[in-house]
Structure 1
């Protein structure tokens, strides 16, 4: 699946075998153009500019290949070919959880099922009978939310997930380490201990070190429902594994064609195509998020917490699949070789094939490797 990227300012990163390292690229008239330079050797440096979109449009560069050629096949690329990487590099990778009412209810179900998928449907029915749609239009942290919280405690259904879902403080956690995210076309990984899991299609904000949002992209915050369901203290094990974070294909920079208001109105589509012929389609909209994106940014970065290299911030997901894939009552879970496509009209499509984390290419190119490569190329 390919996208034209004809409107807007898109920037990303590719692996260049001829320099044995990554380069910054922008999309111009359907071509990937290398704009790596001494002043902007990393995506971190580009996003720290006052107007990165203006720079990306005017910077001199080298045409590498048509976008369509690089995105011709949604499969992992050999290091001998130019291929897309995650569009971020030195930024911290942070994520917000439980920001949508529908998925919030599913987190409560995971917790009460203790990670056992066979118990989920019965708990879902009981919880829906009590909560219904009462959480859907609540503004997190509002006085109305406080009253609902009191009522739920009285009903005996209060949960730590409801606390971060409608309480004053958002859940913000570290999803992955800088440079560890995979990009478009790469394999995305599941920890082999998981038997109940799903993709999480999300919009990801690109945030500079001063807290200003410079653009947005797509992400898959892979979710191990059984692992986190056993204990919230296993969140790190559930979320941060080899290849378990996918971001891309490009960051769309804020300019006259695209802004935070477009993020607030964005729609996302999800398509899962299984090797067994299984097909699942889903959709979500940022219009149903319970916290404004800029509120989530301010809860993540500020005087209380600095990120000198900026951050990528996952916004949370509305998607929580409950459709049975196999035995009745088992719900959805991934199979190896599932093809996952997350798309949004303004941001393109992020495509990854599911593998076990132990079978995905190991992460070996870290910060030290990047610095040595840039130095060798005379860029720092």
Structure 2
């Protein structure tokens, strides 16, 4: 099942897409307005989110499928977001290329301990179809398409699409500038939905693609597979949650293997589309912040 967070006149609503269509779960249970509400209900009843939803579908109201592609979409989870880096070979190579200290990225790629870092708060995260940001003090900026793992009380409950916006020039100047290269206004987007973990057969075998367009011209178009990730989703989650007071609901982005070449940088007005097989396509434009 795919879960969509909707916002209608500022009021949150939760929808689910099944093989039979799109349904308004809030209409079936008015206190069920967000994914966090659904996660809480599943935890209290010791059931999966899909099992809880199955019981509500009879009373849920059908919705037009176009709702899941429209302006009513909100980021599906409003919680803090963390990210992992150097989990694909091409990411390790790209960060070597941008850095004056390339050996440290080889060490992380081959190390037992992955790189896990704080990425965004809800205030820094933009909804699907909304503009993501490039820093005004950066000369080299790229989107990073990533599989996002959705956690409830530290357990994997679903997957989403993430855009980890990055300033390669700032991080390349000095790796200690990573927080400034990664964490700033409009630095992240997730969505358009959360696909339940029970309905994903293997998160390590999903096609992922990204296109970047400018004035109607496609400047970047490439695809990969999450199977190229050198670390497992479970390994990254274990590292994130170990010795860390994680929130009740969180998202962990798992790294990228789609990296535009060194001659490319984002500009205001660019259009980014990131797709993940079986989950959906996350679309954003670009604005300078």
User: What TM-score, normalized by structure 2, do the two folds share?
Assistant: 0.89
Counterpart position of 1:273: 213
Q: Does the Cα contact within 8 Å between 1:95 and 1:314 map onto a contact in 2?
A: yes
Residue 35 of structure 1: which of 26, 30, 38 is its match?
Answer: 26
Residue 65 of structure 2: which of 60, 64, 67 is its match?
67
Query: Which residue is equivalent to 1:56?
Result: 53
Give the structure with the larger strand fraction: 2
Shift, 1:220, TM fit: 0.6
CA distance in 2, matches of 1:250, 1:265: 19
2:277 corresponds, among 334, 339, 345, to: 345
Structure 1 residue 293 corresponds to structure 2 residue 233: yes
Shift, 1:354, TM fit: 1.2
Superposition TM-score, scaled by structure 1 size: 0.69
Paired with 1:15 and 1:69, the residues of 2 have a C-alpha distance of 11
Shift of 1:110: 1.0
Output one character per residue of 1:151-193: Cα deviation in whole Å (capped at 9) or x when no partner: xxxxxx8622222221111111111013542222111111111
Q: CA deviation at 1:53?
A: 1.3
3-state secondary structure, aligned to 2:122: coil
Superposition deviation, residue 32 in structure 1: 4.5
Give the counterpart of 2:15 among 25, 39, 53: 25
Instruction: Show the counterpart of 1:45.
Output: 37
Question: What residue ranges of structure 2 are gaps of 5+ in the alignment?
Answer: none
- 1:97 maps onto 2:89 in alignment: no
Give ranges in structure 1 of 5+ residues lacking alignment.
1-8, 78-82, 113-156, 323-329, 358-380
Contact 1:26 1:35 in 2 (8 A): no
Q: Kindly tell me the number of residue pairs found equivalent between the two proteins.
A: 281
Q: Which has more radius of gyration?
A: 1
Q: 1:242 to 1:65 in 2, by over 3 A?
A: farther
Cα deviation 1:52-102 (Å, max 9, x = unaligned): 111223326654741324525xxxx4xxxxx1011002x321100111111
Which residue, 66, 82, 87 being the options, matches 2:76? 87
Counterparts of 2:223 and 2:146, CA distance in 1: 11
Query: How much is the aligned-residue C-alpha RMSD, in angstroms?
Result: 2.2
Q: Summarize the Cα distance change of 1:242–1:57 in structure 2 as closer, same or farther, 3 Å threshold.
A: farther
Shift of 1:279: 2.5
Q: Give the distance between the partners of 2:258 and 2:241, measured in 1 at CA.
A: 26
**3-state SS, counterpart of residue 68 of structure 1:** helix
Contact residue 92 and residue 309 of structure 1 kept, 8 A = no
Displacement after TM superposition at 1:278 (Å): 4.3
- Structure 1: how far apart are the matches of 2:50 and 2:124? 25
SS of residue in 2 equivalent to 1:247: strand
